[in-house]
Amino acid sequence: MNALRLGVNIDHVATLRQARYTGMPGSHNCEPDVVVAALACERAGAHGITVHLRADRRHIQDEDVFRLRKSLTTKLNLEMGNTPEILEIALRIQPEDVCLVPENRREVTTEGGLDVVLQFDALAPTAKRLNAAGIRISPFIEPDAAQIDASVALGAHSVELHTGAFANTLGEAHQRELARIREAAAYAHGRGLQVNAGHGINYTNIAEIREVPHLSELNIGHSIVCRAIFVGLEAAVAEMLAAMQKK
């Protein structure tokens, strides 16, 4: 079995920058630099960099994505809502992967999976254009068979299973959510999809997630950025990579 791959989400590096430098693009004082952060993650062994270019540009900015596209030596995974403006940017940038996500202006971070079943007709033209451009698409979905089937019909290369409910519950509810993830991973694998996962995964619950069969990639951001405050970004990424390995 191949080792789990890690995509590091650096949105919260941009969040820190925007806390001080919103509306000041190009300022010589503007820090931290998301490209410097991304390259540090790559040096530590990350297999890719993930960013979410939101419609309201609350953290990652257009310039960030273009600079990352020119600078990365691994791959760029662009998270995006289904909006015409962001689609056109994605087609210009040509990331290796696009993760289609729900987007709510009131949320602090993505709060749940994309309802591919309900939104299929709206998503289909976007998926068609991304696929035609050779960009792999990965809907960010709840661990649910109907959502997986709809993702297959959409032409997805992979799915990213939303692990937020798993991360935010305890006891029996936590175990039920873990079972849902395991069942969904097996089902998606059986449908020919690459299976990724993300949201709320940290240095503690990774011990359970890494045992889920058929997982290929994990996208982790908040926990790594938090850990980096104490040990530095490269060390935080290296620690997560070590924790991802099955014992």
Active site residues: 52, 79, 199
User: How would you label 207-230 residue by residue, b for 16+ Cβ within 10 Å and e otherwise?
Assistant: ebbbebebbbbbbbbbbbbebbee
Separation between Cα atoms, residue 22 and residue 82, nearest integer Å: 24
Helix/strand/coil (H, E, C) string of the chain?
CCCCEEEEECHHHHHHHHHHHCCCCCCCCCCCCHHHHHHHHHHCCCCEEEEECCCCCCCCCHHHHHHHHHHCCCCEEEEECCCHHHHHHHHHHCCCEEEECCCCCCCCCCCCCCCCCCCHHHHHHHHHHHHHCCCEEEEEECCCHHHHHHHHHHCCCEEEEECHHHHCCCHHHHHHHHHHHHHHHHHHHHCCCEEEEECCCCCCCHHHHCCCCCEEEEEECHHHHHHHHHHCHHHHHHHHHHHHCCC
